[in-house]
Amino acid sequence: MAGLLRNLLLQTCSRRGSKFSVRHLKMALLSSLRTPGLCGALYYTGTRSISSGTLHIKDSLNFWSGGRVSLKDVKTKSEPVYEPATGRVLCQLQACGAADVDAAVRSASAAFTVWSKLAGMERARVMLEAARLIGKRREEIAEIEVVNNGKSITEARLDVDSARLCIEYFAGQATTLSGQHVQLPGGSFAYTRREPLGVCVGIGAWNYPFQIAAWKSAPAIACGNSMVFKPSPVTPVTAVLLAEIYSQAGAPEGLFSVVQGGQETGSLLCHHPSVAKVSFTGSVPTGKKIMEMASRGVKPVTLELGGKSPLIIFEDTDLENAVRGALMANFLSQGQVCSNGTRVFVQSSVLPPFLKEVARRTKAIQIGDPLLDETRMGALVSKPHLEKVLGYVKQAKKEGARVLCGGEPFIPADPKLKDGYYMTPCVLDGCTDDMTCVREEIFGPVMSVLSFDTEDEVLRRANDSALGLAAGVFTKDVKRAHRVIQNLQAGSCFINNYNITPVEVPFGGYKASGIGRENGQVTIEFYTQLKTVVVEMGDVDSLF
């Protein structure tokens, strides 16, 4: 999920000139200006920022009943959470057990009782205030996201913007919820009501921690539900900031609660009898398990799962734009984006110039401290994940792919970053459809390039996947563009661009890439249930 990265990046560029250049922030050590309840972070003043390796988080990362909650069960084993940029321990995380999950759900149930009775306009006011607070604290939230996730500060700022815009959008939707009136014979009539589900569970992924928390909570609470959110245990830090913001904006206690933990905590949430719906973003195997658990309680699910998306570049394309699109389709967030177009199909006649230019630009990507404005690629999220991605590159070489550039561990010059999880972005040439790098989701900065000759051929090959999250086409032929998109088996498609996901339009996939949609007006249907009411205006016509 790339959020609004490309849109917002272009907006930023237009405001600042033809080249993207952001003012270099002064890097300051964390000082006594820490604000309690904000993970030891600073309110951004425009003159201070966190520097890598300085943030230490000691406050509780769980939040329900209107505040942070320290777990009472001291026997719970804590797990270290690492800062990707430096490899150091950022904090210790304790997973919520059955009693903790039950307390959070009970708090959410109490909030639902109050919140669901408010008018849409009243809910919208709280949401708009939350969006305003996010905008006010943009830099602070972005910096903490970088520390916990490893992505560049430039991207993190855009993620925060996407979260804010999502909440603003669904604040507007909250005021428009309505049913249908149906006239029946004899003056009788029926009407429908859209009613909230109750307590919804959101389970987030580690690649967009703050943005996903907003994308899941905004439609849920706009419809009158409450939400208990479980972040990934790898990136647990920023979701609690959103909980505090909702609370500060005037939401009832428990409306958006945060519980920390891994698989066991997630299972407790899915099985809890008071939970009405589960929304999950993550891998296909985990999504299948969540669907199975939710089915035992006949609970609806929204699943935003993996992708191995095709990006098709025809010979008549604007090659400059195609190269830009391929880079955006593969290297955002160190390649850790589910919708990335990692199978790049290039028509044979333009393959040599494409490869030359894409390799040149990939080599020029600046890797390093993600908190520096000039950095374009930060650290991967964890050491095991880095090793996994590097393993895919090694396997690709064994299977006959040619490495044009990258695919190796990278150690920045700054000594404090020597233990961070960095690698050089990789372009693989000579790939074939049966290679592991083409069949499996790598989830790292690895672009697999394949050649094709005809439209029919590339459509068949592009659709030869169990996944169907996204797809892209670059061509100047408008008829071909729409024809190809119509025949691609993917839920989120792009013509002459890639990874544009405005909050106004639905996002989600076909096949094993998921169920349901996030964002857009249609999402209201996934967070409400429909009640039909039949009103008889005459006498009952009875057979008895």
Catalytic site positions: 304
CA–CA gap between residue 153 and residue 373 (Å, rounded): 6
CA–CA gap between residue 287 and residue 28 (Å, rounded): 41
CB proximity list for 236: less than 8 A, separation 6 or greater: 61, 81, 91, 93, 148, 209, 260
Instruction: Output b/e per residue, 133-169; b: 16+ Cβ within 10 A.
Output: bbeebbbbbbbbbbbbbbbbbbbbbbbbbbbbbbbbb
CB proximity list for 204: less than 8 A, separation 6 or greater: 212, 213, 216, 229, 230, 231, 232, 239, 281
CA–CA gap between residue 356 and residue 451 (Å, rounded): 14
Give the largest CA-CA distance in the chain: 88
CB proximity list for 278: less than 8 A, separation 6 or greater: 200, 201, 203, 269, 270, 290, 293, 294, 299, 300, 301, 302
DSSP label of 274: T
CA–CA gap between residue 171 and residue 200 (Å, rounded): 18
Residue with tokens 């996994």: 388
- Please name the residue ranges forming H helices in 311-363: 319-331, 351-363
- Yes or no: say if 177 and 190 are a contact pair by the CB < 8 Å rule: no
CA–CA gap between residue 140 and residue 41 (Å, rounded): 7
- Yes or no: say if 2 and 156 are a contact pair by the CB < 8 Å rule: no
SS3 sequence of 25-41: CCCCCCCCCCCCCCCCC
> What are the tokens at 5?
């990265």
Dihedral pair phi/psi, residue 428, rounded to 5°: -105, 125
Residue type present at position 242: L
DSSP string, 104-137: HHHHHHHHHHHHTTS-HHHHHHHHHHHHHHHHHT
Question: Nearest-CA neighbor of 319 among 350, 278, 361, 363?
Answer: 350
Collapse the DSSP code of 260 into the 3-class scheme (helix H, G, I; strand E, B; otherwise coil) and give the result.
coil
- Yes or no: say if 467 and 511 are a contact pair by the CB < 8 Å rule: yes
Question: Nearest-CA neighbor of 201 among 250, 259, 145?
Answer: 259
Give the chain's end-to-end CA distance (angstroms, integer). 59
CA–CA gap between residue 495 and residue 333 (Å, rounded): 22
Residue type present at position 356: K
